[in-house]
Structure 1
Amino acid sequence: MPPTLASLVHHSALKLTVRAGTDGLDVPVRWAHASELADPVPYMEGGELLLITALKLDAEDPETMRRYVKRLVGAGVVGLGFAVGVNYEDVPEALVDAAEGEGLPLLEVPRRTPFLAISKAVSAAIAADQYRAVTAGFAAQRELTKQALNDAPEGLLAALATQLDGWAALYDASGALVATAPEWAGRRAARLTADVERLRERPAPASAVVGSPDGDGGGDRVELHSLGTGRRPRAALAVGTAAALGTAERYAVHSAIALLTLTTERSRSLHAAEQRLGAAVLRMLLAGEPDHARAVAGDLYGELLDAPFRMILAESTSASKPFGADASLVAGRPLSADADGDPLGQLAEVVE
């Protein structure tokens, strides 16, 4: 997980002390930044721990501190570190009261702790968190690849759902639901068909975030992603989680998209190749070259017939009547449903 103010307070080498805003210590810290500007807000992005010595601030004036802290909170600053023993021997009470009033965590930084040490600690924690995310992402990619090779797509969806601690669903080119994991997610995934249809109308690759597909308070955050390399999607992937995806989960989703796209395109290519092969085998049979046809087909279509054969098509004259109810004749015998209601079984007996 990313560093928090609490993790910095517990860092044994920094010796930080909490002076205000104890309820906000679990907020993640995106960066630590030192600034002595009277108004550093234009240079903040949000999520920072701001480090100051109050070189250009009247930190003992309550009104000045209230305005200063209020602007920091409005800019998304998550914490304020005040170095004592530089311009002030102690943290001014006006600053403590202002931080407590706005709920902004205020950390006392001892003189022996340089701001650079705090910045390094934050940077190291962020790097370690990113490394863990990348490592977890690669592990997920290996597992998804193995499942795609051994049991696609159901195994891949199951592995993805486990990685996300949520659920996953696959839709075909028409928007129909193909598979879900776990099985209980089928009802939720089925209610997304309208969203999948809208996604299919957009050029690939496309993605969308939708709310919970059910009305029972599940609160799923659902992402839809199109699959395919052409302009028209050939399939779609849906993933549902309780919260926004983290870095490791994002790696897993991107790996699943790539693998499912590869599987979809490969299946399409194989289907086209099988169609061309079947047409070629049929031409050889019609040309009276059964040996060549058998050699080309191999085991793809089973055993090819050696001798000519006949095909019989039996059709009822009325779709509303049982097969044979109109006393259709085959070989001079009336054809009607047998005791089991299977007209094809009687047809086979008559033909034999």
Structure 2
Amino acid sequence: MNQISPALADTASEARQPDLRRVNSNPDFWYPVAWSSDVRKGKTVGVTFAGIPIALVRPEEGGLFALYDRCPHRQVPLSQGIVNGQTVRCCYHGWAFGRSGRCIDVPYLGKGKLPNGVRSYPVREAGGLIFVFPGDPEKAKTVPFPKLAQTDNPAFKTRHFSPRVNCHYTFMHENLMDMNHQFLHRRQMGQIKARFLGQDRGEDFIEARYSFMRSGGQQPLAERLIFGKHKDLNGREQPVEEVVTIRTEYPYQTLRITDKDGDLIMDLWAAYVPVDKDQRVTQSFGLLSVLRPKTPLLIDVIWPVLGWFTNRIFLEDKDIVEMEQAAWNEVGYDRNVEIFPIVRELRELLVRCGCPQDVKPAPEPEKKPA
């Protein structure tokens, strides 16, 4: 009997379903692209979503607006331009564009017919973040806006983070959803084992619940300060002290930790935004809300420790997902052998809600002349 080589078997399997690493982010959602503090009054900032250049413009008065970041005249970035009232002027010839993207002035044209404008994007600010809707602007009116951790809850203190990672966004979803990878963090967290408690799923979300059991090593200081000291049971199995709930509700991901009574202790919200056209570079935006201890100002004392601890954990995750991307780059398709059911279902969700790369994006529309 002829044997099929592993490589050929992988190729046959890959042919039966879309390669997850070739599934683009669906643009018909609200995506964070910058922090509000990054765009000062009277200034512009250039960002990208999946290779699409976008200029964020904040006038001295009035709200921020977002335009396609290329002047139609010579394709110079509008983000290099000058904010003038409620317009942005291209730095090259001074063409002016308003909030709607319409060209409203060409200094040397006189009263002649004005040229085409540029696309504008729906934009919102919340939780210290600037969001744009890069897809169909009509859908922006009905697509739900995400709940951003506990940014509006004074009982919590919130930390911002925005690391850039050289990998496809789907690796980030898999990494957080699969808590069986705690072996990776053994130096930071000691020897702990994830216990899968159950799951929930729907058309646009999947959720997994875990608790953790320590089998060796000391409880990290940051963990002890936030959750309290866990008793040493001399090798006996630990009871459920906290429940960790991880949810991908496309395209966002959350991690919520509750104590044994069901009270919320920590709430993480994250979005993974593709930067380049091939979506091999991801800009992460995260909000981490931690319940303030009853002791006044204690949260301010432990905040640097928490920051150091979470950063060390993230750097280990960053290294590992970039290794996964490098392995994909070597062969050009996904050879992952996934056996954990919750991750298999997550992958199906990401394919179902995303956009396979063979679907051509619509060209950037131009505004008609005034």
Same structural fold, with TM-score higher than 0.5 when normalized by the shorter chain: no
TM-score (norm 1): 0.23
TM-score (norm 2): 0.22
Name the one with the larger helix percent: 1
- Point out which structure has higher relative CO (alpha carbons under 8 A, 6+ apart): 2
Name the one with the larger strand percent: 2
